Amino acid sequence: MSLADSPFIDRLNTNYVPSDSEICEIRTLLVDPVDELAKLDAQIEEMEITLSLLKEKRASLQAPIDAHRALISPMRHVPLDVLQEIFFSCLPTEHNALIDPAEAPLLLGQICSHWRSVAYSTPRIWSSLHIPSFDSRSHSVPSAIFVILGRIVERWLKRSGNCSLSISLSSGINSSLDFWSEDHPILSPLLQVRQRLRHLELSADTQSLRQLLRLGPKDLPILKTIRIQASGDPLFDGNLEATNALQLPTLEDISLSFSATSDPLSLPLNWSQLTGLSLVCYPLWTGQSWEGGFDAGGVLDVLRSCPNLVRCEFGSSKSLDPGSTINRSLITLSHLQFLLLGSHSIPPEYMSCLILPKLSYLKYGDVTFGAPGNDHVFDSSLTADIDPTGLTSSQCFELLRRFPSISVLRLSSPAYHHDSMSLDDAFLALFYTPNGLCPMLTDFTVMVPCARFSDTAALAFVKARMAMTPALQQFRFHFNRPVEVDIMPELRPFILGGLKAALHYPLSEWKFDARAGLSDATTFITE
């Protein structure tokens, strides 16, 4: 009898307990099927043995086939100059190359002997180097580590041939060796190639930096960019020799983060030749008061001295003193494309002093979006990232009114501030009323915790901007409240027409969480 016709079909997969006579009947019923199953198992085993033998035969044939195909691989026929360009394209673009075997250029020497030969004989891919600092707040770094790293740096720089160099390093280290002494195993090979340095980035205490900043034009004949993050004493103490490196006639891009008790304009920089400038100047506590730093007047004075800037950044320093006066004469920066301003750098009411015909990107305050890189393509539109924290409604209005070419506007704040301006329905209406703000706006983002405009106001904004020229192309609103009105059905026609829309709300419903309040460090043992 086939098991398909078994009288126990209705009893299968249940908790039924058969009687003794039924057990005997079931055993008899299973005799033939069990025999058939054994025969099938034997056939499967035989076929698996045959399949295994075929796989072994295939593998023995596949190996020489792959070896012969490798001989005609297109990669073997790539011209040397093309292969070198591929290698160069593998290098990081956001920072200098790392001493990391898992990244180019070191990784390129681990593929095959040919690639290693090409990589080691191509100076250009070794022309940048980041020398890492050692976080040694609790442990001293053994001197042997620096000796080993120094040999790596020396070989790296030797492979760079006669190429100009981009180097970044930090002395955030604690060892038995003086890192900034000329015979240090890491600094020594760097000093030997100092005449090839084009871009240099240093982070150290002021006293150590002064030794390198004494290098002059003969030592650094092609240095174009210098970035310095100094800690401790004031960077400039009136000794011009201590800042020789900042006075080089070749310098075009300078980034300084330092403390000073004097006006930053007293730094002996060739201001008029700079195309890139980043200044973060902190005041120092003298025991009685905070001295130094610079306010909005100092920022404007610096800009007035740098007519050729393309990219400029000022970190927050200090607010204007009550009753202070500022030179409000017009400043024309004909080439400036990127302007990044920290809090208090320039109050909005003083932005009217600036004439910026080519401005492509504006950052104001501690925004959460990153600034575009130097490869940002300039066009007639303007992208603005603005943190409204600390601004009054009139100040924010003045700032936005000053830049009518804004096409991408992102309002963001890293955290809630009770003194922030009111981002309410009336504020949102300013963007679509007659002679309103940002007439060229096509992309609008609001990520401010204190934003309080309603869903209906958001809907009115979108509808009005979609009827304007140019029409809105994308918007993202992040609310710090539950949904009030579901506006997505009314936005659907616009979305189908190409509008990119995103509305983010916090979770409005409570959800059960069985692990809520459970400490990861708590373990219960039951016996």
In tens, the pLDDT along 242-258 reads 678 888 999 999 998 88
3-class secondary-structure state, position 63: helix
Q: Which residues of 224-241 are buried (b: 16+ CB within 10 A; e: fewer)?
A: bbbbbbbbebbbbeeeee
pLDDT value at residue 457: 94
pLDDT of 241 above 80: no
Residues 6+ away with beta carbon under 8 Å from 403: 359, 362, 382, 384, 438
Long-range Cβ contact pairs of 235-239 (< 8 A, separation 24 or more):
235/206, 235/209, 235/259, 235/260, 235/267, 236/260, 236/262, 236/266, 236/267, 236/268
pLDDT value at residue 303: 93
Most confident of 259-273, 351-365, 367-381: 351-365
pLDDT of 271 above 50: yes
Q: Cα–Cα distance between 271 and 482 in angstroms, integer?
A: 52
Beta strands in 316-472 (DSSP E): 331-332, 338-341, 354-355, 361-364, 382-386, 406-412, 443-447
3-class secondary-structure state, position 314: strand
- Out of 187-196, 200-209, 314-323, 489-498, pick the least confident: 314-323
pLDDT value at residue 98: 95
Strand partners, 130: 98, 168
Mean of the per-residue pLDDT values of the chain: 85
pLDDT of 137 above 60: no
Enumerate the H helices of 99-198 as residue ranges.
113-120, 143-159, 187-192
pLDDT of 377 above 80: no
Strand partners, 200: 167, 226
Q: Cα–Cα distance between 403 and 399 in angstroms, integer?
A: 7
pLDDT value at residue 140: 65
Q: Cα–Cα distance between 125 and 84 in angstroms, integer?
A: 8
* Separation in Å, CA 122 to CA 96, 100, 116: 17, 18, 10
- Is 351 or 524 the better-scoring residue by pLDDT? 351
Summarised one tens digit per residue, pLDDT across range 286-341 is 677 666 677 888 889 899 999 999 999 998 667 666 667 778 899 999 999 999 99
Mark residue 238 as left, alpha or beta (left: phi above 0; alpha: psi -120 to 50; beta: remaining). left
At residue 523 the predicted structure's pLDDT band, cuts being 50, 70 and 90, is: very low
Query: Is the CB of residue 157 less than 8 Å from the CB of residue 129?
Result: yes
pLDDT of 347 above 70: yes
Q: Cα–Cα distance between 259 and 279 in angstroms, integer?
A: 11
Q: Which amino acid is at 104?
A: A
Give me the residue spans of the domains in the chain.
20-72, 374-511
Q: What is the DSSP letter of 289?
A: S
At residue 238 the predicted structure's pLDDT band, cuts being 50, 70 and 90, is: low
Helix 455-466 × helix 488-496 angle, to 10° = 20
pLDDT value at residue 430: 93
Specify the pTM: 0.77
Helix 113-120 × helix 80-89 angle, to 10° = 80
pLDDT value at residue 176: 42
pLDDT of 527 above 50: no
Strand partners, 413: none
Q: Cα–Cα distance between 93 and 331 in angstroms, integer?
A: 33
The vertex-411 CA angle with 409 and 416, nearest 5°, equals: 175
Residues 6+ away with beta carbon under 8 Å from 460: 428, 429, 432
pLDDT of 132 above 80: yes
- Out of 5-14, 189-198, 484-493, pick the least confident: 5-14
Which tokens sit at 135?
């976080």
219 closest CA partner among 246, 191, 251: 191
Summarised one tens digit per residue, pLDDT across range 401-443 is 999 999 999 998 876 555 566 788 999 999 998 888 999 999 9
pLDDT value at residue 174: 45
Summarised one tens digit per residue, pLDDT across range 492-505 is 999 999 999 999 98
- Is 128 or 76 the better-scoring residue by pLDDT? 128
At residue 161 the predicted structure's pLDDT band, cuts being 50, 70 and 90, is: very high
254 closest CA partner among 234, 241, 242, 272: 272
Beta strands in 368-449 (DSSP E): 382-386, 406-412, 443-447
pLDDT value at residue 515: 78
